[in-house]
Amino acid sequence: MKKYAKWGAIAFALWYVLTRPAGAANMIHGALGELSDAAGSLSQFMNHLV
């Protein structure tokens, strides 16, 4: 079952990228922006501990 779910997720991701490249790019850009914000917040927290 895991194998089918993995291939289904890959197929969906490819379909999404091919049919809506701008939407996919915006989604990746947003996710990376959130990761960047989280890293900045973690950095500030660690600096306050020192």
Sequence spans of domains, the chain: 2-49
Question: What's the predicted TM-score (pTM) here?
Answer: 0.60
- Which DSSP letter does residue 50 get? -
Above 90 in pLDDT, residue 8?
Answer: yes
Above 90 in pLDDT, residue 22?
Answer: yes
Considering only the C-alpha atoms of the chain, give the largest distance between any 2 of them, rounded to a whole number of Å.
48
CA distance 9 to 12: 5
The pLDDT assigned to 50 comes to 78
Average pLDDT (2-10) is 93
Average pLDDT (34-44) is 96
| 20: helix, strand or coil | coil
| 1: helix, strand or coil | coil
